[in-house]
Structure 1
Amino acid sequence: MNIVQEPLKAGQPLAEALIQDFSKVSGLYEYNPAEEKSWSDRLAWLDQSDRLRVDRKELVNQLREYNLKHNPHDAVSGHLDQLERPGTAVIVGGQQSGLFTGPLLVIYKAITIIKAAKEASTKLNRPVVPVFWIAGEDHDWDEVNHTYVLSQDLQVTRIRIAQGHDQRLPVSWTELDAEAWEQAAAELEQLLPQTEFKSGLMELYREAAASSSTLTDCFAKLMGSWFGKYGLILLDSADPGLRRLEIPVFEEMIARNDELEEAYRHAADDILQLGFSAQADAREHAANLFYIHEGERLLLFKQDGKFCDRKAKVALTKEELLEELRQHPDRFSNNVLTRPLMQDSLLPVLGAVLGSGEIAYWGLTRQAFRRLDLQMPILLPRESFTVLEGTLHKHMDKYALSWEDVADRDVFQAKREAWLAGQDALNLGERFGEIKSAFTGMYDPLIEQLGGIQNGLTKLGNANRDKIIDQIEYLYGKAKDALEKTNEAGLRHFDRIELSLFPMGKPQERVYNIFYYMNRYGEAWIDGLTGIPYDVTGTHRIIYL
């Protein structure tokens, strides 16, 4: 395994500025992750603010119960013992619970959390444990119900798992039947090539699915099977036991909701004044909380002194909403702007591992943290990788393709066309161009002369000329098709390079699933990833296999 840094644009200027030009965004973010002092300062703040968070023992009891179900590893139990003791901090990061764990970036985020916690513990000489926050409260089923695998015939193939109803419930509440689990398994099994690891990998999935009622359960079991030995603590944000602990935090969010709204909107103005775009919607009158009503998760807004949804299915006064919270805390959940506040109210967060989009919308939250007497934690970019297998590397060398060539779609296509043109010994494009030019050069003057005989002949001549040119173009197209067919093997090499590294025009880590790579390289592949030195900047790296 050879690791090489190669740039990959994040597409989020705020995320790039956090690492490359912190002074420009220091008004939006609390700490510069690249500065050693940030780590000791944040730890000192955590030590003196422990009273602001939920009781550690109660939190750990709930996490212990959840992890015993899905992630019962001794290393996890040891980290929970440490977390129960004052002074222990956490590195946290999270994602939705996708099918087969979703895209590779989920795996890279978990690995970053583990490595950052280990690095911080060594640096600060203090226990720092890794926590993965499963966003089970999210309700967008279409975002999590599928994953992609590159088939053997070079098709980016989607595998999808169906749910039995159309309710907009949290993913952790959406139950699946045995038929749905098996159908997804059968599709994956058919797509994966036969290897020494395939049967064990499929058995792992089927065992996890058989003991799971929801996508979140299966996600947790798979993540636990791979990362439990590293002590990665799992947390489901929709866990009813956690929700009971969160009641005082929700009470404060509701009681001070106008203050929080004002903080988000002021931050959005600040971001615009700095020349950036806000990556989350800080809407006027937004409560930034969800409420579950009759099987539907509704985003709340404030109107005429009440908390309502857009379709007016619910309308509760502040007092009624608070009473509902105390009676039914499981009906409440956060949106992207209040989730960071809840996370910091539960856990002693030293650092939060985030993707570039998350870093961008966290730029809206610093003032909101302050309104609740909290402080935004250190934001740590998720590590980013592209896996480049040996055969692909050979193909790139053969066609003189650099990483930059493949990363730029226009350049890559131009290189592909140039290579194909180089195989054209007849110079088809040039010769057909000459034929069309010679034909029109002789035919156009004739058409003009025919018009002198009768006006109608000009129109007829032009139509006749266009038909002949169409036939020449048709023959040229057929000749190009034949040329491509003759050079099909080489063009498939180009296709494999593109589809492997930038499927659907996106970075590999945002599309493909870990099962494809574990089927080829086994579980040791994850161990190799965790052994790559931690990079606090999150700079994209290529893994040459």
Structure 2
Amino acid sequence: MDVDCIPFKETGYFSKLICDYLDRHEDLKPFFNRYPTLKNFAEQIQEKKANFPHGYRAVLVNALNKQYEGVAISEGTANHIAKLADDTTFTVVTGHQLNLFTGPLYFLYKIVSTINLARKLKEHYPKYHFVPMYWMATEDHDFDEINYFKLRGKKIQWNKKANGAVGRLSTEGLDQVFDTFAGEIGQFGKAETLKKLFQQAYLEHDTLTKATRFLANALFGEQGLVIVDGDDVQLKKLLVPYVKKDIFEQVPFAKVSESIAGLAKISSDYIIQVNPREINYFYLKDNVRERIVERNGKYHVINTYIDFSPEALKEELENHPERFSPNVVARPLYQEVILPNLCYIGGGGELAYWLELKSYFDALGVTYPMLMLRNSALVITEKQFQKVEKLGLKVSHLFLKQHSLINKRIRDISNIDIDFSPQKKLLEEQFKHLYELAEQTDKSFLGAVKAQEVKQKKGLDALEKRLLKAQKRKLKDHVVRLTELQNELFPNKSLQERQWNFSELYLEMGDNFISLLLETLDPFSEEFIVLKH
């Protein structure tokens, strides 16, 4: 297997905010704690150790043991759970929704990045223990985001009416999805292994939480992955003081709003991922997960008839903390309150909203974790790579937007020069003299000179586009082969990892695919990886 790398910011698929973060932009330093280098983990360990109550460890271990009841786990996972009781053990975490059959391919890249980070930290800091952890987003209620996966360009979907937290959903009806999936993958390759995996996960477990735990454990249990479900009464009890700060004092709303304003001052190109609410918790019960809002001195659960006085809500929180579910702003804090965590590994969008949260963590006295961009990869076959070479391209060129790629290639192979930049430059020089002449004679002519310059430049642009269009027709066969190849590797004009499901590659490679990822994905690389097989 050959491996090539492309710097993230050269791919065109990462925001300015994330590229600036990777460049350690000076203005962004107030928005994160430490940049995730091997050296910086030493200070992060000491800070978290000093700021994480020892008693929380026993609560965490008890909760995990209860969550894993009835699950066959590896020796590595069992050992990791036990070690979490020790003050020398820390976690590195990634989180993800409960997407059907893992959803997009990058789910695997997230978890492998996390496993490999834990391994590298153990090599560098041998006296400590590091546990790779996957946080299941069991309390999300966006069913439409997780009820499908794509295979060979087809959308395989679970058609079901759903309300409330997705983790609590019954798996009833997934037998129909299994039949569709089984029919699509047929009998070749590793099809039977995948069918068995889907069947065991979804048809032999009664909730989506249990199914997802089984699936992630089956894929990564041998690497010692620990899977945690935040929808847990023991763990929620630890969160109670912070929920009060949110609901009754609105600390997150004030602090995150300040951070958003601060990021906007740095660059108008920074995209704000999430906005805080005055109250960042849902009320979670049965098939209900609805926002809590304050109205006229009372607390109302929207889309219901449930109301609480301040005293009644505090009593409900103390007696039933499991009924309070954090939103996207509060969930990261919950994670860092209950885990001895050092680092969060996520995609660009996730890190963008984490960068809004540091002042909120500081205000509540919770150690802010290091933030690491997950690995990204493009898997390309040897045959596809040969096509790239025959077209006279590099794989990095395929990351260009399709019209830019075509235009670039047409210019490269055309036997005439379709770049009018020299003519435009000459035109600018000529008009420079006209501007000087107008200045010396009558300044009122400056506008007319400018208008003429714009008109002539537009004319050159129009000629350039017409010539390019003519060359595209002339070189149509080349354009077709180029676009077909790019469409194969970037389905729906998007990254492969966002469109494919892992089963597409597993059918060809089996367990070797996961082994390959474990061998090649380096969480410290800061580059987009191209895997040729």
Q: Give yes or no for TM over 0.5.
A: yes
Matching residue's letter, 2:213: A
Say whether residues 1:308 and 2:311 are aligned partners. Answer: no
Matching residue's letter, 1:374: V
Residue 242 of structure 1: aligned partner: 235
Identical aligned residues as a percent:
23
Determine helix, strand or coil for the equivalent of 1:27: helix
Determine helix, strand or coil for the equivalent of 1:360: helix
Please report the TM-score for the alignment, with normalisation by the length of structure 2.
0.81
| Aligned partner of 1:525 among 473, 497, 513 | 513
Say whether residues 1:117 and 2:118 are aligned partners. Answer: yes
Q: CA deviation at 1:16?
A: 1.8
> Unaligned regions of 5+ residues in structure 1, if any?
151-155, 423-479
| Aligned partner of 1:205 among 192, 198, 206 | 198
Q: CA deviation at 1:101?
A: 0.7
Residue 141 of structure 1: aligned partner: 143
- Checking the alignment, whether the CA contact within 8 Å between 2:59 and 2:234 is kept in structure 1 is no
Q: CA deviation at 1:395?
A: 2.2
Q: CA deviation at 1:540?
A: 0.9
Residue 169 of structure 2: aligned partner: 174
Instruction: Kindly report structure 1 stretches of 4+ aligned residues shifted beyond 6 Å.
Output: 415-422
- Checking the alignment, whether the CA contact within 8 Å between 1:146 and 1:160 is kept in structure 2 is yes
Matching residue's letter, 1:230: Q
The alpha-carbon distance between structure 1 residues 76 and 183, as it changes in their structure 2 partners (threshold 3 A), is same
Determine helix, strand or coil for the equivalent of 2:325: strand
Matching residue's letter, 1:93: T
List per-residue Cα deviations over 1:495-520 (Å, max 9, x = no partner): 65233321112101111100111111
| Aligned partner of 1:394 among 358, 361, 386 | 386
Residue 5 of structure 2: aligned partner: 5
| Aligned partner of 1:45 among 28, 43, 47 | 47
Partner Cα distance (1:241, 1:296) in 2: 21
- Checking the alignment, whether the CA contact within 8 Å between 1:98 and 1:215 is kept in structure 2 is no
- Checking the alignment, whether the CA contact within 8 Å between 1:71 and 1:234 is kept in structure 2 is no
| Aligned partner of 2:134 among 132, 135, 146 | 132
Matching residue's letter, 2:169: T
Residue 440 of structure 2: aligned partner: none
Residue 447 of structure 2: aligned partner: none
Q: CA deviation at 1:313?
A: 4.5
Say whether residues 1:406 and 2:406 are aligned partners. Answer: no
Bigger shift: residues 318-327 or 97-106: 318-327
Matching residue's letter, 2:67: Y
Say whether residues 1:227 and 2:220 are aligned partners. Answer: yes
The alpha-carbon distance between structure 1 residues 112 and 140, as it changes in their structure 2 partners (threshold 3 A), is same
- Checking the alignment, whether the CA contact within 8 Å between 1:149 and 1:516 is kept in structure 2 is yes
The alpha-carbon distance between structure 1 residues 496 and 308, as it changes in their structure 2 partners (threshold 3 A), is farther
Q: CA deviation at 1:278?
A: 5.1
Q: CA deviation at 1:294?
A: 6.6
> Unaligned regions of 5+ residues in structure 2, if any?
416-472
Say whether residues 1:157 and 2:154 are aligned partners. Answer: yes
- Checking the alignment, whether the CA contact within 8 Å between 2:61 and 2:85 is kept in structure 1 is yes
List per-residue Cα deviations over 1:464-512 (Å, max 9, x = no partner): xxxxxxxxxxxxxxxx9xx98xx7xx88855652333211121011111
The alpha-carbon distance between structure 1 residues 415 and 50, as it changes in their structure 2 partners (threshold 3 A), is closer
The alpha-carbon distance between structure 1 residues 19 and 416, as it changes in their structure 2 partners (threshold 3 A), is closer
Matching residue's letter, 1:5: C
Q: CA deviation at 1:370?
A: 1.1
Bigger shift: residues 519-528 or 242-251: 242-251
Determine helix, strand or coil for the equivalent of 2:42: helix
User: What does 1:442-461 align with in structure 2 at a 5 Å threshold?
Assistant: none
Residue 266 of structure 2: aligned partner: 274
Q: CA deviation at 1:98?
A: 0.5
Partner Cα distance (2:323, 2:517) in 1: 39
User: What does 1:230-379 align with in structure 2 at a 5 Å threshold?
Assistant: 230-255=223-248, 257-276=249-268, 277=270, 279-283=272-276, 286-292=278-284, 295-309=287-301, 313-379=305-371
Q: CA deviation at 1:22?
A: 3.7
Say whether residues 1:510 and 2:498 are aligned partners. Answer: yes
Determine helix, strand or coil for the equivalent of 2:47: helix
Determine helix, strand or coil for the equivalent of 1:55: helix
Matching residue's letter, 2:119: K
Q: CA deviation at 1:176?
A: 2.3
Bigger shift: residues 61-70 or 224-233: 61-70
- Checking the alignment, whether the CA contact within 8 Å between 1:131 and 1:234 is kept in structure 2 is yes
The alpha-carbon distance between structure 1 residues 312 and 12, as it changes in their structure 2 partners (threshold 3 A), is farther
Determine helix, strand or coil for the equivalent of 1:92: strand
Bigger shift: residues 269-278 or 96-105: 269-278
User: What does 1:11-90 align with in structure 2 at a 5 Å threshold?
Assistant: 11-34=14-37, 36=39, 38-51=40-53, 55-70=56-71, 72-90=73-91
Partner Cα distance (2:55, 2:327) in 1: 20
Q: CA deviation at 1:309?
A: 4.8
- Checking the alignment, whether the CA contact within 8 Å between 2:37 and 2:524 is kept in structure 1 is yes
Residue 430 of structure 1: aligned partner: none
Determine helix, strand or coil for the equivalent of 2:280: strand
- Checking the alignment, whether the CA contact within 8 Å between 2:273 and 2:349 is kept in structure 1 is no
Matching residue's letter, 1:144: I
The alpha-carbon distance between structure 1 residues 231 and 302, as it changes in their structure 2 partners (threshold 3 A), is same
- Say how many residue pairs are matched: 469
How large is the RMSD of aligned CA atoms in angstroms?
A: 2.7
Partner Cα distance (2:494, 2:508) in 1: 22
Please report the TM-score for the alignment, with normalisation by the length of structure 1.
0.80
The alpha-carbon distance between structure 1 residues 258 and 249, as it changes in their structure 2 partners (threshold 3 A), is closer
Partner Cα distance (2:410, 2:100) in 1: 37
- Checking the alignment, whether the CA contact within 8 Å between 1:96 and 1:134 is kept in structure 2 is yes
Bigger shift: residues 40-49 or 494-503: 494-503
